[in-house]
Amino acid sequence: MGKKMSKSYGNTISLREESSEIERKIRTMRTDPARVRRDDPGNPDNCPVWQLHEVYSEDDVKDWVQKGCRNAGIGCIDCKGPVIDAVKAELQPIQERAKQYEDNPDLVKSIIHEGSEKAREAARDTMEEVRHSMGLAYR
């Protein structure tokens, strides 16, 4: 029976994950189960880390992984390095922007207030149109 998708398994990386946690989670990812020792050849197609390379890595890195894994020229930890760097790089601007909002709660309050005002105006206009369409324009 398959497992449900759940962050309770501890195998997710959140957008605001600490850099050290990103590294820990990727470094401890399972790899090709047939590759027991460092000098055993592997098959990237059977490794979940390869799926991350397909998303994050350039062609030259993918070639390096394919050759290095299949001939045991690289170890699984070596293989995970470029993915760790790529995930951190992708999350960095998101985390920097989140930090700006964390450091400035007044800005967040003002954004919420402004959005609420716009929503109220839109709702007021919509309700006026609904009342008019239903013949309930009593104002």
Note the pLDDT tens digit of each residue in 39-55.
999 999 999 999 999 99
Please report whether residue 8 resides in a domain: no
Q: Domain with 77 in it: what CATH number? A: 1.10.240.10
Answer yes or no: do 110 and 129 share one domain. Answer: yes
CA-CA-CA-CA torsion for 44, 50, 53, 55, nearest 10 degrees? 130
Q: Which residues of the chain have pLDDT under 70?
A: 1-8, 138-139
Answer yes or no: do 99 and 129 share one domain. Answer: no
Q: Residue 111 and residue 87: Cα distance in Å, rounded?
A: 29
Answer yes or no: do 22 and 48 share one domain. Answer: yes
Give the structural domain span for 137: 105-139
Answer yes or no: do 64 and 120 share one domain. Answer: no
* pLDDT the model gives residue 10: 74
* pLDDT the model gives residue 73: 95
Which amino acid, 4?
Answer: K
Answer yes or no: do 67 and 124 share one domain. Answer: no
How many distinct structural domains can be found in the chain?
A: 2
- pTM metric for this prediction: 0.75
Please return the burial class of 80, using the count of CB atoms within 10 Å of its CB with bins 0-12, 13-18 and 19+: buried
* pLDDT the model gives residue 16: 94
